[in-house]
């Protein structure tokens, strides 16, 4: 069944980090990013009502990040400021074809404490207050053991209260102790999700089976009503009612930097669905935004470069 997303307020959940990008002259430029944060910012630019649910430190840089998100129209009322903590950081390096590589410093990031026993109730309330909760495989990987169980309990509570849940698989092996733990968490997450944005290449790395028909069979078996499967070739399959429909990219773009390609696709797709567009049209909007984003360096493109 196609999810009813029209007009819902979104809570994007995950980690916002400092972004350092290596410039052609060897110097570093500073910005901010993170997969679900990128999606939140692009959603806000596209007119969606969105809050970001995360944690930062009480330092000046964390304050600067908050002000920048607010200037983008992202709600920050659910961002916790934890004393003595510092935000995570990553460096982007890109090759001649625009493909990116990330180097991370984030093991002690404050977001990892959001489902500790003393913070879990407040975080759960933040998610339960949304009409749509959006998170990713990277969001899942931030927590382990009892903290991850509390995250799932919070998602179950939100879902029982009427929230819809959208999940982007966005698998990164380095965030998991082993593939068995990752598969167990993904199975549980997909079983809770109303909308899944799945990447064939990501899931092939986790399951060894990344053919589109395998991914669709997995999602169908879990009862996912609305699925978007991003293909290894440019384009995606949308399955929301009946047989899957292939939605190609409208035009090929030579990438400058593929950072946030999937994040911006998710924003374009969800913004269109929130506006009442059907899933196939929404996938086209996702492709359109992602095609602009990868033609610019960094995760967040200049506002004036946004497609109209």
The predicted model gives 269-278 an average pLDDT of: 98
Measure the CA–CA gap between 96 and 99, rounded to whole angstroms: 7
| DSSP 8-state secondary structure symbol assigned to residue 113 | G
Tell me the residue range of the domain where 256 lies: 10-15+37-48+108-298
Size of the chain in residues: 308
State what percent of residues in the chain have pLDDT above 70. 99
Whether residue 127 is contained in a domain is answered as yes
Q: Where are the alpha helices (DSSP H) in 77-232?
A: 120-128, 137-141, 146-160, 179-192, 200-207, 212-221
Q: How many domains does the chain have?
A: 1
Lowest-confidence pick of 2-6, 243-247, 288-292: 2-6
pLDDT score, position 194: 97
Q: How many CB atoms lie within 10 A of CB 125?
A: 13
Measure the CA–CA gap between 210 and 193, rounded to whole angstroms: 20
pLDDT surpasses 70 at 86: yes
State what percent of residues in the chain have pLDDT above 90. 79
Whether residue 102 is contained in a domain is answered as no
Task: Report CA 296 to chain centroid distance, whole Å.
Answer: 19
192-228 confidence digits (pLDDT tens): 999 999 999 989 999 988 899 999 999 999 999 999 9
Q: Tell if the pTM clears 0.85, that is, is over it.
A: yes
Helix/strand number for the chain, H first, E second = 10, 13
Residue with tokens 């052609």: 24
pLDDT score, position 25: 85
| DSSP 8-state secondary structure symbol assigned to residue 305 | G
The predicted model gives 59-71 an average pLDDT of: 96
128-157 confidence digits (pLDDT tens): 999 999 999 999 999 999 999 999 999 999
Handedness of CA 280, 282, 286, 291 (dihedral sign): positive
Whether residue 126 is contained in a domain is answered as yes
pLDDT surpasses 80 at 264: yes
**Residue 57 — φ and ψ, nearest 5°?**
-85, -175
Whether residue 219 is contained in a domain is answered as yes
Whether residue 276 is contained in a domain is answered as yes
User: Which among 231, 168, 234, 167 is positioned nearest to 201, based on CA atoms?
Assistant: 231
pLDDT score, position 98: 63
Q: How many CB atoms lie within 10 A of CB 174?
A: 7
Whether residue 86 is contained in a domain is answered as no
User: Which among 234, 245, 256, 230 is positioned nearest to 280, based on CA atoms?
Assistant: 245
* CATH number assigned to the domain comprising residue 136: 3.40.1190.20
Measure the CA–CA gap between 280 and 239, rounded to whole angstroms: 9
Whether residue 278 is contained in a domain is answered as yes
Annotated active-site positions, please? 263
pLDDT score, position 22: 81
160-181 confidence digits (pLDDT tens): 999 999 999 999 999 999 999 9
pLDDT score, position 308: 82
Q: CA dist 177 to 143, 185, 273, Å?
A: 11, 12, 35
Q: CA dist 140 to 15, 40, 135, Å?
A: 11, 17, 8
pLDDT surpasses 90 at 74: yes
pLDDT surpasses 80 at 97: no
Q: What is the mean pLDDT of the chain?
A: 94
User: Which among 105, 190, 185, 198 is positioned nearest to 143, based on CA atoms?
Assistant: 185
pLDDT score, position 4: 87
């Amino acid at each position: 069944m196609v999810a009813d997303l029209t007009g819902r307020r979104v809570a994007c959940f995950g980690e916002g980090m400092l972004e350092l990008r290596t410039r052609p002259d060897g110097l570093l430029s500073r910005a901010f990013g993170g997969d679900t944060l990128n999606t939140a910012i692009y959603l806000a630019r596209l007119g969606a009502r969105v809050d970001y649910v995360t944690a930062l430190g009480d330092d000046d840089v964390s304050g600067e990040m908050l002000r920048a998100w607010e200037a983008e129209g992202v709600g920050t009322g659910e961002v916790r400021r934890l004393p003595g903590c510092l935000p995570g950081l990553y460096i982007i390096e890109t090759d001649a074809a625009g493909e990116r590589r990330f180097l991370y410093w984030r093991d002690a990031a404050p977001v990892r404490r959001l489902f500790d026993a003393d913070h879990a109730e407040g975080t759960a309330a933040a998610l339960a207050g949304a009409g749509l909760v959006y998170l990713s495989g990277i969001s899942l990987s931030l927590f382990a053991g009892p903290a991850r169980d509390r995250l799932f309990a919070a998602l179950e509570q939100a879902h029982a209260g009427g929230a819809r849940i959208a999940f982007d698989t966005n698998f990164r092996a380095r965030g998991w102790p082993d593939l068995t733990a990752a598969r167990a968490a993904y199975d549980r997450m997909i079983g809770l999700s109303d909308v899944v944005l799945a990447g064939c290449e990501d899931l092939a790395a986790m399951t060894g089976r990344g053919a589109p028909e395998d991914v669709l069979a997995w999602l169908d078996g879990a009862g996912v009503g609305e699925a978007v499967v991003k293909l290894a070739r440019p384009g995606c399959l949308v399955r929301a009612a009946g047989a899957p429909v292939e939605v190609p990219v409208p035009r090929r773009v030579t990438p400058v930097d593929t950072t946030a390609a999937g994040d911006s696709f998710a924003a374009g797709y969800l913004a269109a669905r929130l506006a009442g567009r059907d899933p196939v049209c929404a996938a086209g909007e996702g492709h359109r935004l992602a095609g602009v984003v990868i033609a610019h360096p960094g995760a967040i493109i200049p506002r004036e470069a946004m497609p109209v």
